[in-house]
Structure 1
Amino acid sequence: MPKSLFGFVFLMGRHHQIAIAALSVVLFLAGTAPLEVQRRIINAATAGAPYQAILVLVLAYLGLVLLEGLTKLMLNIYRGWIGEVAVRWLRKSALAASERSSEGPVDALAEGVQLSIIIAEAESVGGFVGTSISEPLLQAGILVAVGSYMIYLQPLMALAVAVVFFPQIGFVPLMQSAINRRVETKITVMRHVSQSMVQHVATNDAFEAQGDRVERLFSLNMSIYKIKFTMNFMMNLMTQLGYAGIFALGGYYVVTGKTEIGTVVAFISGLSKVRDPWGELIDWYRDLRVTQVKYAMIRNANTDAVSQDEAFIDDTPAAADAMKA
């Protein structure tokens, strides 16, 4: 297995990643156009434009939305397929390592680790392969495109919206690091649970140890939930402050005649367009950090399995020679 997570991503197919990235570019470019059409519809309606002109704009809006939706459908299916290909590869790799190790002395810990990889760990690592490159490209592209459009319409209002997101650059990495530490501990505990199940040791101490591990998993999961949902709460609060800024500043500009009502509506829609990709980008970053931890543990487990297998093969001829002597 490659040393890094992104080495594994490219192992699964560079040309697929290029194709997915191209679809992502089309999607974020198509996602900005409806904002301008929406603004023109509202301004045309408030200015008393002919209904036929408004209807043409509405049809153009529907066409753009349909294009965006179909492109996103294709992108999601493609990413899901490449992710499942990676999951299948990891599971087959773990099965192959398990088969090799079965030829030598049975190691309950190794079997428990391989069982955990096949059943649970491969799913999240392989699933990340499909979104590893296209997701940040798509969401960052939407942020840049929509942000540039908002700056073009009203720079001061765009600045007020941007300030809202700055604090998240500080607290998100810190809270995610805390989650990562708990995820690594959780994977280790789950592997010990699998090891104990493979050993089939039916003693009171073994049952008590398994019970302690289950309680440990419960505590770790609750700790992760608390950090994760606190992070979500803080991010949502920042977004609502952005809406408040648009209402306050936009209302002032409309009252003083410095901007049109359509611009304020476009900013409200624009903030929704920015909020979603920003949240998706944060989720991708969180998945990246967690998946890097999981991938490293899977790679180390497979490397250890291969090393043990090679050591057993090396020792077997020596043992046979000793028996002959």
Structure 2
Amino acid sequence: MNIAEMVQHDPNLAAPAARSAPVFSGATMPKTLLGFVWEVSARHQFYLSLLSVLVFVLSTAPLEVQRRIVNDAFKGGDYVAIIWLALIYLGLALGEGLLKLVMNIYRAWVGEVSVLSLRMTVHRLIHGLPEELSSAEALGVETSMMLSESEPIGGFVGVYVSEPMMQGGILISVFSYMIYLQPLMALVAFVVFCPQIVFVPLIQRAINRRVARRIKTLREVSMSMIADPAGVGVLGRAQEDRIGQVFGFNMGIYKLKFSMNFFMNILHHSGTALVLGIGGWFVVRGQTEIGTVVAFVSGLTKINDPWGDLVNWFRDLTVTETKYRLIANAIQMLADAKLGAGREPADIVE
């Protein structure tokens, strides 16, 4: 049973997700990923943004509470006050966690509605083609777009706005707090992260090139599976070559991705070592408190995690834009073929 029949036969599926998922024609299909996000989820992106603001506002407060607990403990402070601070810390962490839970479930729903929108669009265009144009090539492209290409594009829609807003907000708020505590140590932490601004985009562009070539090759694999199910003769040997190419593209992507993660981890640990060294020197000289150093180390972790998430978001954004451009072009060509514009379905793979 195809997606359209499932929606017709199952009212639970049709409401509310299917009603919330727009189905595009070739003329109305957004040309860019940003346009698609706006069309399928503009209102939901606003609500997700509000949740993101609440999350990053709550993310910095535990650092100050932690600093006060450590300082009170070392100075022989009031134990009752320490207990209250610990309970406040726990409450802030619980509140932040619950907000993230709600936001993640909401994101997932928005993403799944977007996947449904893409799959319904492809399905209706393919099955609206005249019989003479419903070739193995067109069916192969449909298989690839329906099963493997729609999922990551739709899934990214849920985090398109809220993820950079939340992680960027955490970075700004934590850095501001660190500057307030100790400007010199904050400057050291900032300098350590600067090299990533250079090498991350360079590596990402190399990953994007391999992703685009991998998608086109997988479409050719899908078409060949339909045109020559037995996989014999020249077509079979060509299919084996394509499978080998996909393996090569995947390994190239993994090597670049994990190398980037390695360099980012090295820089993070270098920053931690510098903060501990400088902070320890300040404590010995009586220029800062031990709680400040503890807060800085925790702050570096709070910076490293959202920075890594922002890098992942940027990587996913560029990859998803590449994927969306390919699927939008394919949908446009399907629509042109349906209208008799003179394009053969085989052109869709381009």
Tell me the TM-score normalised to structure 1 length. Answer: 0.95
Query: Gaps spanning 5+ residues in structure 2: where?
Result: 1-28, 343-350
Counterpart position of 2:81: 53
Letter in 1 for 2:282: Y
- Any idea what the Cα deviations from partners look like across 1:85-129, whole Å, max 9, x if unmatched? 000110111111110125443322222111100000000000000
Letter in 1 for 2:46: I
The correspondence for 1:124, drawn from 152, 155, 160, is 152
> How far apart in 2 are the matches of 1:305 and 1:273?
47
The correspondence for 1:205, drawn from 234, 244, 256, is 234
Following superposition of structure 1 onto structure 2, how do residues 3-18 of structure 1 map, counting pairs within 5 Å? 3-18=31-46
> How far apart in 2 are the matches of 1:11 and 1:102?
29
Query: Percent same amino acid among aligned pairs?
Result: 52
Following superposition of structure 1 onto structure 2, how do residues 231-246 of structure 1 map, counting pairs within 5 Å? 231-246=260-275
The correspondence for 1:27, drawn from 37, 55, 66, is 55
1:312–1:293 Cα change, 3 Å = closer
Native 8 Å contact 1:85 1:126 kept in 2: yes
Letter in 1 for 2:279: G
Counterpart position of 2:114: 86
The correspondence for 2:256, drawn from 217, 227, 233, is 227
Counterpart position of 2:297: 268
Compare CA radii of gyration and give the structure with the larger one.
1
> How far apart in 1 are the matches of 2:51 and 2:226?
45
Counterpart position of 1:191: 219
The correspondence for 1:65, drawn from 88, 93, 98, is 93
Native 8 Å contact 2:133 2:337 kept in 1: no
- Any idea what the Cα deviations from partners look like across 1:224-248, whole Å, max 9, x if unmatched? 1111100000011110110011011
Native 8 Å contact 1:157 1:250 kept in 2: yes
Native 8 Å contact 1:40 1:262 kept in 2: yes
> How far apart in 1 are the matches of 2:78 and 2:51?
37
Most deviating of 257-266 and 91-100: 91-100
Query: Gaps spanning 5+ residues in structure 1: where?
Result: 314-325
> How far apart in 2 are the matches of 1:74 and 1:103?
46
- Any idea what the Cα deviations from partners look like across 1:261-294, whole Å, max 9, x if unmatched? 0000000000000000000000000000000000
Counterpart position of 1:41: 69
Native 8 Å contact 2:111 2:157 kept in 1: yes
SS at match of 2:129: helix
Counterpart position of 1:277: 306
Q: Which has the higher helix share?
A: 1
- Any idea what the Cα deviations from partners look like across 1:51-85, whole Å, max 9, x if unmatched? 11110001101100000000000010000000000
Counterpart position of 1:320: none
Count of residue correspondences? 313
Q: State the Cα distance separating 1:312 from its structure 2 match.
A: 7.2
Letter in 2 for 1:248: G
Q: What is the Cα-based RMSD across aligned positions, in Å?
A: 1.1
